[in-house]
Amino acid sequence: MDEKEKAAVVAICQKQGVSAVDAWARGAVLVVKPEVGAALPSAEVLRELAVVLADRGHRYVTLDLAGWAVEGEG
């Protein structure tokens, strides 16, 4: 994923109500990193985000919760 696509994905996440600070692709999976300390979105918001990102060719979308939890500690 190039920087332009990454910026577009983060902007889409923000517009859909997901406070994202980064995104990257791992094969067929798009990983979105939420802002540390931000509230996690509802299931409905995540479903809507998945539909919007699917229209951009991202079939599988996940949140990086492990990195978020580790960075959020302490």
As a CATH number, domain 3-72 is 3.30.300
CA 65 from centroid of its chain's CA atoms: 10
Per-residue confidence at 28, pLDDT binned at 50, 70, 90? confident
Percent of the chain with pLDDT over 70: 91
Which tops the pLDDT comparison, 28 or 23?
23
- How high is the pLDDT of residue 74? 40
Residue 21 to residue 14: CA distance in whole angstroms = 9
- How high is the pLDDT of residue 44? 95
- How high is the pLDDT of residue 37? 81
- How high is the pLDDT of residue 36? 82
